C-alpha cells in the first residue's frame, strides 16, 4: 500500500419529510450533512455476499441517524472503489433527506430505510458480476471523490470505507494525495483474498497505517471496526455521538480434543443470565479461532437490550434461544485446529469493541505456547474481564507439567496486559462457577 498525506437524545417528535433525488448535489455551500459510503469492488475484496448483513446494518444505522440526529438536509451517496475511483459512477444516490416540522403530501419517513436497504441489495448483487469487479484498488482516489462530494456542505461530513485496505494501483499510477477537511471517517474492514494470505495482526497493522494517514490528512476522527462484528447500535455510536456504551462480550474457542462440546451450552446459559446485570446493549460475538493465515469462523453478533414490555413481534426469537442455537452451532468445530492464533484473534476482536464501555472475554483453548512475536504484542486489556477456560489435548498426557506451565504463562501474559483474569477448567464448568469467575468472586 502506498499513500501520500498533507495536513491541511433528547429526541423531538419531528415529522420527517423525505426528498429522494437522483440528480447531482447543488454545489452552492449550505448547511446539512454529507455521508459518502465507499465500497471496495476490486477482485481482491468482492463479491460482497458474505457482507450483506453488515451492509444492511449500515443502511439501518444511517437511516436512523438521518431521521433523528444528523443536521438536515442529509445527502447520502454510495460509490465504488475501483481501478480509477475518482471517476467512478455512483452505486446508489445521491439521495437527499430533508426533515420538516410540517408533513407534506406523499411524504413517508419509511422511504429512508426502504431506499437504503434497496441500495445494499443493489450493491451486493452488482458485486457478484465479474464485469463489475476491478483489477486494481484505488482507495486514495475514492477518498478524494468523497471529500469533493462534501465540499458544498458546511455541516458534518462522514466517509465510510468498506474494504480490506490493500491499495493496489496499475504500474506507473501514483496514488492521489490524501486531503481532508474535518471529515469523520469510519473504516469497516475484513481480510481480502490476497494470493499470499496475511495474518490478523498484519491486517490490523495495515488498518492502523490507513487510520494514521487519514488523521494526518485532516480527518477529524477515524474509527475502525471489523465488518463481521458491527451492529446497528455500534454504527450509530460511531457515526453519531461517538460515546462508548454497552458491553462487548467475545467468546474465542479453539476446542481441545478432550473438551466436552456440550459445555458450550453452559457458556450460553451463563451469558444469558449475566447479561441482565451488564450495561446494555450487550453484544455477543462468538468465533472459532483458525491458524495464523486463516479468518476466524464466526457467528453473527447477538445483541441484547432488556425491555419492560415484550416486543409486539412474537415471531422474533429471544436472546436465550439465539445464544443456545449459537452454542449448538459452534459445537461442530470440535476439536479445533490445536494451534489457533488466539493472540491474533484477541487483538482483532478487541478492536471490535472500540465503542463499547465494558468488555468481557471468554477463551476456550489448550493455550499453546505463545510465539515470541505474540508475547511482545502490545495489547491494552485494561478493565477487560477475561475467563480462561482451559482443557488439555490428548498429546498433553505425555507432559502434564508443560500443559500447566503453558496455562500459567498465558494467565501471566494476560495480566501483564492489565486484564482481570480468572480461570476455570472447561470440562468442570458450571453456570454458577462462571458467574462467580466473571464477577471476580
- 131-150 pLDDT, tens per residue? 999 999 999 999 999 999 99
8 Å CB contact between 88 and 82: yes
Which of 44-53, 69-78, 82-91, 190-199 has the least mean pLDDT? 190-199
The mean predicted confidence, pLDDT, of the chain is 87
pLDDT confidence band for 110 (50 / 70 / 90): low
* pLDDT at position 286 over 80: yes
Q: Helices in 52-136 by DSSP H: which ranges?
A: 52-68, 110-127
Mean pLDDT of 304-314: 63
What integer pLDDT is reported at residue 100 of this predicted model?
60
pLDDT confidence band for 316 (50 / 70 / 90): very low
Q: Which residue has the cell 443502511?
A: 59
What integer pLDDT is reported at residue 12 of this predicted model?
34
Q: What percent of the chain has pLDDT over 70?
A: 85
Mean pLDDT of 411-415: 95
What integer pLDDT is reported at residue 285 of this predicted model?
97
**Tally of CB atoms within 10 A around 279:** 13
* pLDDT at position 24 over 80: no
Three-class secondary structure of residue 345 per DSSP: helix
- Residue 15, phi then psi, degrees to nearest 5: -90, 130
Which of 64-73, 195-204, 385-394 has the least mean pLDDT? 195-204
pTM of the model: 0.88
**Tally of CB atoms within 10 A around 242:** 11
Distance CA 333, CA 349 (A): 19
Could you say which DSSP state residue 411 is in? Answer: H
Enclosing H/E stretch for 405: helix 400-416
* pLDDT at position 102 over 80: no
Tens digits of residue pLDDT in 419-439? 999 999 999 999 999 999 998
What integer pLDDT is reported at residue 379 of this predicted model?
85
- What are the residues whose beta carbons fall under 8 Å from the beta carbon of 344, sequence distance 6 or more? 199, 200, 201, 292, 374
* pLDDT at position 352 over 70: yes
* pLDDT at position 105 over 50: no
pLDDT confidence band for 373 (50 / 70 / 90): low
What integer pLDDT is reported at residue 6 of this predicted model?
43
Mean pLDDT of 111-139: 94
- Residue 179, phi then psi, degrees to nearest 5: -140, 115
pLDDT confidence band for 198 (50 / 70 / 90): confident
Q: What does the DSSP assignment read for 271-289?
A: HHHHGGGSPSSEEEEEEE-
> 178, 110, 107, 99: which is closest to 139 by C-alpha?
178
What integer pLDDT is reported at residue 125 of this predicted model?
96
pLDDT confidence band for 99 (50 / 70 / 90): low
Cell of 373: 512475536
What integer pLDDT is reported at residue 292 of this predicted model?
81
Distance CA 145, CA 376 (A): 40
What integer pLDDT is reported at residue 345 of this predicted model?
92
Which tops the pLDDT comparison, 241 or 269? 269
Phi-psi region of 246 (alpha: psi -120 to 50; beta: other; left: phi over 0): left
Amino acid at each position: 500500500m502506498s499513500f501520500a498525506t498533507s495536513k491541511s437524545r433528547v429526541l423531538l417528535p419531528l415529522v420527517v419529510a423525505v426528498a429522494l433525488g437522483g440528480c447531482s448535489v447543488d454545489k452552492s455551500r449550505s448547511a446539512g450533512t454529507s455521508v459518502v459510503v465507499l465500497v471496495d469492488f476490486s477482485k481482491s475484496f468482492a463479491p460482497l455476499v458474505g457482507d450483506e448483513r453488515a451492509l444492511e446494518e449500515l443502511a439501518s444505522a444511517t437511516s436512523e441517524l438521518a431521521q433523528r440526529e444528523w443536521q438536515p438536509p442529509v445527502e447520502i451517496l454510495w460509490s465504488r472503489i475501483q481501478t480509477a475511483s475518482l471517476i467512478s459512477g455512483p452505486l446508489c444516490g445521491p439521495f437527499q433527506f430533508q426533515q420538516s416540522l410540517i408533513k407534506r403530501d406523499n411524504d413517508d419517513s419509511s422511504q429512508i430505510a426502504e431506499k437504503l436497504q434497496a441500495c445494499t441489495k443493489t450493491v451486493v448483487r452488482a458485486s457478484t458480476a465479474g464485469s463489475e469487479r476491478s483489477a486494481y484498488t484505488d482507495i486514495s482516489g475514492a477518498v478524494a471523490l468523497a471529500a469533493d462530494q462534501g465540499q458544498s456542505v458546511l455541516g458534518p461530513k462522514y466517509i465510510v470505507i468498506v474494504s480490506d485496505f490493500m491499495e493496489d494501483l496499475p504500474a506507473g499510477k501514483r496514488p492521489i494525495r490524501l486531503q481532508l477537511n474535518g471529515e469523520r471517517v469510519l473504516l469497516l474492514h475484513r481480510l481480502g483474498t490476497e494470493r499470499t494470505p496475511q495474518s490478523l495482526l498484519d491486517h490490523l497493522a495495515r488498518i492502523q497505517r490507513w487510520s494514521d494517514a487519514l488523521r494526518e490528512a485532516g480527518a477529524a476522527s477515524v474509527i475502525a471496526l471489523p465488518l463481521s462484528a458491527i451492529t446497528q447500535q455500534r454504527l450509530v455510536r460511531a457515526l453519531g455521538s461517538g460515546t462508548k456504551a454497552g458491553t462487548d462480550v467475545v467468546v474465542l474457542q479453539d476446542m481441545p480434543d478432550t473438551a466436552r462440546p456440550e459445555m458450550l451450552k453452559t457458556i450460553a446459559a451463563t451469558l444469558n443470565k449475566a447479561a441482565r446485570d451488564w450495561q446494555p446493549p450487550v453484544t455477543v460475538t462468538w468465533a472459532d479461532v483458525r491458524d495464523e493465515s486463516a479468518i476466524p469462523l464466526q457467528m453473527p453478533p447477538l445483541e441484547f437490550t432488556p425491555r419492560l414490555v415484550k416486543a409486539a413481534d412474537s415471531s422474533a426469537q429471544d436472546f436465550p434461544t439465539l445464544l443456545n442455537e449459537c452454542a449448538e452451532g459452534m459445537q461442530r468445530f470440535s476439536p479445533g485446529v490445536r494451534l489457533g492464533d488466539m493472540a491474533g484473534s484477541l487483538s482483532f476482536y478487541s478492536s471490535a469493541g472500540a465503542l463499547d464501555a465494558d468488555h468481557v472475554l471468554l477463551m476456550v483453548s489448550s493455550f499453546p505456547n505463545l510465539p515470541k512475536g505474540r508475547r511482545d504484542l502490545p495489547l491494552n486489556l485494561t478493565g477487560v474481564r477475561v475467563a480462561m477456560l482451559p482443557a488439555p489435548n490428548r498429546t498433553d498426557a505425555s507432559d502434564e507439567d508443560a500443559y500447566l506451565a503453558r496455562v500459567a504463562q498465558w494467565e501471566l501474559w494476560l495480566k501483564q496486559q492489565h486484564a482481570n483474569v480468572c480461570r476455570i477448567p472447561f470440562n468442570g464448568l458450571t453456570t454458577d462457577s462462571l458467574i462467580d469467575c466473571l464477577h471476580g468472586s
